[in-house]
Amino acid sequence: MNKCKSFPSVINQNSKVLILGSMPGVKSLEEQQYYAHPQNRFWKIMSLLCKCDNLHAMPYETGLEILLKNNFALWDVIKFCERKGSMDTDIRNERPNELDKLLEKYPNIEKICFNGTKAYMAFKKYFPDYLSKYKHFKLPSTSPANAKFKTEDLFIEWSLAINS
């Protein structure tokens, strides 16, 4: 089992939509970048949502700036865990990030979108009261492990939530 630690949040005072993952995968942890696996569709979906060509091909910091300019924020529900590999089902001994403090500090957040079931279930476990305070959506994961969803189908699901 590897000890995993999530990244700092990516957020500012203009952020309205908080996108929460569970815990970065092995490639993301190695690169110290959200959604760094080349087959993860997150950056492609966000390119479409931000109406920005090839966000996935831009330098990482530029991508984060564009997300912030489009009022998105990123973080993970889990702060620490033990896990072999990248699968959410292998997460053990998890401890949550301080999402309650983040949401208090950034009152402009209107909506929470969960990138996959594990992110939603962990949030529900640790912060159940916040589900009634925010519009929220459990979205299909952009992970390559979620092969049953094509990128086009992911975009439809994500855009319906983001634009609701």
CA angle 71-74-98, nearest 5°?
120
Over the stretch 114-136, which tens digit does the pLDDT of each residue have?
999 999 999 999 999 999 999 99
User: Residue 146 burial by CB count (10 A; 0-12/13-18/19+): exposed, middle or buried?
Assistant: middle
Angle, helices 151-162/42-49, rounded to nearest 10 degrees: 50
Question: Smallest Cα–Cα separation from 121: which of 138, 135, 136, 108?
Answer: 138
Q: At a CB cut-off of 8 Å and minimum separation 6, what does 160 contact? A: none
pLDDT > 70 fraction of the chain, expressed in percent and rounded: 100
Task: Give Cα separations from 2 to 7, 31, 72, 115, 116 (angstroms).
Answer: 16, 16, 30, 22, 21
pTM of the entire structure?
0.95
pLDDT above 90 for 55? no
Domains within the chain, CATH numbers bracketed? 2-162 (3.40.470.10)
User: What is residue 144's predicted lDDT score, i.e. its pLDDT?
Assistant: 82
Q: Tens of pLDDT along 12-26?
A: 999 999 999 999 999
Catalytic residues: 40
Q: What number of CA atoms fall less than 13 Å from residue 12's CA on the CB side?
A: 10
Percentage of the chain lying above the pLDDT 90 cut: 88
Structure confidence by residue, pLDDT tens digits, 70-115: 999 999 999 999 999 898 888 999 999 999 999 999 999 999 999 9
Separation between Cα atoms, residue 65 and residue 88, nearest integer Å = 27
DSSP symbols for 98-162: -HHHHHHH-TT--EEEEESHHHHHHHHHH-HHHHTTSEEEEEPP-STT-TTS-HHHHHHHHHHHH
